[in-house]
Amino acid sequence: MADIKNEVVFSKEQKQLIKGIVEDENFSHHDWTKEEQKEPLQALRKYVRSHYRVEQNAKCAYCRKDVSVQAPSNCQIEHIAPKEMYKKYMFYPKNLCVACADCNSIKWKRDTIKPLSTGERRKYPSSSGAFLLVHPHFDDYADHIDIFRDRWYVDKTQKGHFTIGLCKLNQRSMDFGYPEPDEMMVLAEDLRNAKSNGDSYLVDLIKARMRELLDN
Ligand SMILES: [Zn+2]
């Protein structure tokens, strides 16, 4: 089941505010913090943040570390498809979640929607398969990424792989003095292959070895 079960629901007044912003002829992604609507937008952001913080059990959508439960600085509203590329989805409930400050800034504005082979998407995709990353509204994180020792991320799928790279999840641990578990990375690759081959015996063996390494 997807990590986020209930998307944020806007009130009539909030919908009016959003409509006014997106229908303005000069609408741009900068209007997320539009000066002329400073206070109502601040209130709207607070509402979105509070909703997803609860919905995500105060965990970042990408690294699963704690986000701040009170202050907004380490519980940032994250546009899953970046607002710089997809301003039309800037207030779209399924495109919003919360992330820690690191994931939010490292992920930045890289595209997360798979391109269509022909033409352009007219609507926000409604299923997991259209996204490159682990999407908290459509995916169960644990289906795509295993986390060992709260620090090492091992991909189980392509989406998991993309998300780990997108937010540099392992790189961040390496940069701060945690030795890279070389064998772990090789095992991670083997694990992915064993899974795609449906070899459950090998999967169990590899997982056992990974746990052994991490316990040493
Ligand atoms: Zn994070």
Report how far ligand 1's centroid is from the alpha carbon of 70 (Å).
16
* Placement of tokens 């909030």 in the chain: 14
pLDDT of residue 216: 65
pLDDT of residue 9: 98
CA distance 80 to 136: 9
Backbone angles phi, psi at 77, to 5 degrees: -75, 130
Amino acid at 49: R
Determine contact, residues 149/170, Cβ cutoff 8 Å: no
Report how far ligand 1's centroid is from the alpha carbon of 5 (Å).
19
Report how far ligand 1's centroid is from the alpha carbon of 72 (Å).
14
Cβ neighbours of 39 (radius 10 Å): 7
Length of the chain: 216
pLDDT of residue 179: 62
Report how far ligand 1's centroid is from the alpha carbon of 66 (Å).
8
pLDDT of residue 181: 62
The tokens of 35 are what? 């000066």
Report how far ligand 1's centroid is from the alpha carbon of 29 (Å).
22
Please list the ranges in the chain whose pLDDT falls under 70: 177-181, 216
Report how far ligand 1's centroid is from the alpha carbon of 106 (Å).
9
Report how far ligand 1's centroid is from the alpha carbon of 197 (Å).
31
Helices (H), 29-157: 38-55, 101-107, 141-144
E-assigned strand segments in 84-212? 96-99, 145-148, 152-155
Report how far ligand 1's centroid is from the alpha carbon of 141 (Å).
13
Report how far ligand 1's centroid is from the alpha carbon of 80 (Å).
13
Determine contact, residues 149/211, Cβ cutoff 8 Å: no
For 88, residues 6+ apart whose C-beta sits below 8 A from its C-beta are: 22
Report how far ligand 1's centroid is from the alpha carbon of 63 (Å).
4
Determine contact, residues 166/36, Cβ cutoff 8 Å: no
Nearest CA to 49 out of 32, 63, 35 is that of 32
Report how far ligand 1's centroid is from the alpha carbon of 104 (Å).
7
Q: Give residue-wise pLDDT tens across range 152-199.
A: 898 889 999 999 999 999 888 777 766 666 777 788 878 888 888 899
